[in-house]
Structure 1
Amino acid sequence: MDLQQLKTFLEVCQTRHFGHAASNLYLTQSAVSFRIRQLESQLGAALFVRHRNNLQLTAAGERFRQHAESIITRWEQARLDVASQQDRAPTLSLASTTAIWQAWLGPALLDLHDELADRHWQTETLTPDQISRRLLERSLDLAILPVPLKVDELNSQLLTSLPLVLITPGGVTAEQALEHNFVHLDWAPNLPSSSQPEPLPTASLRTSDLSLAKQWITRNNGAAVLPESLLQHEQVSWQGWPELTRTELPLYLIHHASHPDLANLAPVIDYLLQR
């Protein structure tokens, strides 16, 4: 078993198609099939099964996918760690969900780098489940989520709260926008959150992508509960309706309680807590 086999397996998992995986990896389809057969032979189990022309993971394939992701991640972390030691500059990994990166963490990281320019960064967009697993494996240094992870080995600290309000394009009333084109922004898929107050209408779009949510309500004269900062910092003319919907999204900084290099993390944690 080698890394190329694992990368090929994960690409097939992503595309669910040998031909598409081959194209993405600049390989022939026969080469992809051969690598998968090698893996299945080494593991003694089938990883994929065809079902009505769809390629599906077997139960063994689902279990092995987590191991393959972990191995690739640990290899990349080891490579970066060795490189950073040679450069004498630490590399820290930071993860969150798509919406939180776009709404808060991306700008925060830019400011953080201005303050701590000697750090190198590896950023990742992950699901909460992936974040929890990676933190427990100690293959991820820091994460930001809208809920604390209630695991004994993990430390969750409240960083800040992001004010959210109901927003529509300028000139569109909330009643008009909510009637047909409400967008539900999912800040952390599969995690409970109180940031989407009820009652609100059925969403015409549910997404974890803040950029798509803004484009959707702009084109369709819709509404969404979005960061209040959009009203001041964007060129697009937005209209806020805090009297109808106003809430806050808590953001928690999470890391392993027994992180091997807490001294290196401390300035980063202190800066984010004070931001």
Structure 2
Amino acid sequence: MDFRSLQLFRHLASSLHFGETASALYVSPSTLSRIIQRMEDECGCSLFTRDNRSVTLTHAGERMARFADSVLGEWEGLQQDMQREQTQLQGEVSLYCSVTASQSHLPNIIRQLAVKHPMVTLKLQTGDPAFAIRHVVEKQVDVSIAIKSPQITNDLHFMPLDDVPLVMIAPRQWRISSLESVDWASHPVVMPETGPSKGVVYQWFKKQGIQPNIYANVGGNEAIVSMVALGCGLGFVPQIVLDHSTAASQVSRVPVRDIGAYTLGFCCLASRKNQPLVQALFNMATELSY
């Protein structure tokens, strides 16, 4: 017994007319009769009662009709699902970002991507944000969450996600609550070794006429928070880093009104920006509108 036989049987069970079913499903009446006879032989009982005037279902035929509805319903549903999967976007898109960005900006994007494109998987790498653009240029990943900078040349595409302000932090035990309390000659500063924050902070020092007393240059904003918490010096870090740091309770925020923010966004090769998987990721961020 196959799906075609069940389809013919189901239609006949509804029409109760051999000629009508044969015409509707494009078989000859004799072929339809042979198929029904074969089904009855396989079941070992009559499925229809026939006479010169009418065709009716037997009790066994009614049970077979329910079985045919169930099986064909499952089969048709499976076919629809398989066709839908063939038209759905599917594949893997790789992304690089800092640990902080993976906590602050990625979760909502990933959730929406999973809902709208369940066949798409995201391969995530985390690390120092200073290397975000390099990973894209060297084709180690499709997309990175990077900071807008002069490194983003014409062969790269950048889509802004958010403006991120920098905040100044001090060891809590120093009890510094304002810029006026800072003695720049004696209070050391922990600076970022690389990345756009370094340029923004040095530009601010220049505008203020301050010659900072550098305690150390370290890699990664999270490391700056840790060193400030340990009492090594003052520091400047992106607000989202401090918001997600486990050491945030051990430092004090010092208000600084005129230090610039930087722009965080998706970065990819310009040649890849219209690839369906990359575009799907960008669209999710656009819909969320950070």
Calculate the TM-score normalised by the size of structure 1: 0.53
**Alignment partner, residue 194 of structure 1:** 200
Shift of 1:256: 1.4
Offset, 1:206: 0.9
Say whether residues 1:175 and 2:182 are aligned partners. Answer: yes
Amino acid at match of 1:188: G
| Number of aligned positions between the proteins | 183
Conservation of the 8 A alpha-carbon contact between 2:167 and 2:238: yes
**AA matched with 2:91:** P
Paired AA for residue 155 in structure 1: H
Contact 2:96 2:126 in 1 (8 A): yes
State the AA in 2 paired with 1:175: V
Q: Once the two structures are superposed, what CA deviation does each residue of 1:209-267 show, in whole Å capped at 9, x if it has no partner?
A: 22321221111262101233536986614322224763312224211122186222223
Partner of 2:113: 116
Q: For residue 222 of structure 1, what is the amino acid of its counterpart? A: G
Q: Does the C-alpha gap of structure 1 residues 258 and 220 become closer, same or farther in structure 2, counting only changes over 3 Å?
A: same
Task: Provide Cα deviations, 1:162-200, integer angstroms capped at 9, x if missing partner.
Answer: 1112111335225268724311124528x9833542135
Whether the aligned pair in 2 keeps the contact of 1:103 and 1:210 (CA below 8 Å) is no
| Structure 2 match to 1:74 | none
1:211 is aligned to 222
User: Is 1:94 aligned with 2:91?
Assistant: no
For structure 2, list consecutive stretches of 5 or more residues without a partner in the other structure: 1-88
In 1, the alpha carbon distance for the partners of 2:259 and 2:93 equals 35
Can you give the 5+ residue segments of structure 1 that lack an aligned partner in the other structure?
1-87
1:160 equivalent to 2:162? Answer yes
Q: 8 Å contact 2:130–2:194 — kept in the other structure?
A: no
Query: What's the % identity of the aligned pairs?
Result: 15
1:45-194 mapped onto 2 (5 Å cutoff): 89-96=90-97, 101-117=98-114, 118=118, 119-125=121-127, 131-132=133-134, 134-136=135-137, 138-146=139-147, 147-172=149-174, 173=176, 174-175=181-182, 179-186=186-193, 188=195, 193-194=199-200
Answer whether contact 1:143 1:255 (CA < 8 A) is retained.
Answer: yes
Higher mean displacement: 253-262 or 123-132: 123-132
Structure 2 partner of 1:236: 249
Distance 1:231 1:106 in 2: 10
Q: Is the 8 A contact 2:192 2:221 kept in 1?
A: yes
Question: Highest Rg: 1 or 2?
Answer: 2
Query: Match for 1:253 among 242, 262, 266?
Result: 266
For 1:226 and 1:93, the matched residues in 2 are separated by 27
Q: Structure 2: how far apart are the matches of 1:181 and 1:192?
A: 15
Q: Is the 8 A contact 1:128 1:188 kept in 2?
A: yes
Query: CA RMSD of the aligned region, Å?
Result: 3.6
Supply the distance in 2 between the matched residues of 1:138 and 1:125 (Cα, whole angstroms). Answer: 16
Change (3 A) 1:214 1:194: closer
Amino acid at match of 2:263: P
Q: Distance in 2 between matches of 1:94 and 1:138?
A: 11
Q: 2:99 touches 2:127 (CA, 8 Å); kept in 1? A: no
* Secondary structure of the corresponding residue to residue 271 of structure 1: helix
Is 1:263 the counterpart of 2:276? The answer is yes
Q: Name the CA distance, whole Å, in 2 between partners of 1:127 and 1:221.
A: 23
**Alpha-carbon distance, 1:106 to partner:** 3.9
TM-score of the aligned structures, taking structure 2 as reference length: 0.51
Equivalent-residue separation in structure 1 for 2:280 and 2:199 (angstroms): 29
Secondary structure of 1:151 counterpart? coil
Moved more, 170-179 or 263-272: 170-179
User: Is residue 181–residue 220 contact of structure 1 (8 Å, CA) maintained in 2?
Assistant: no
Distance in 2 separating the partners of 1:271 and 1:116: 6
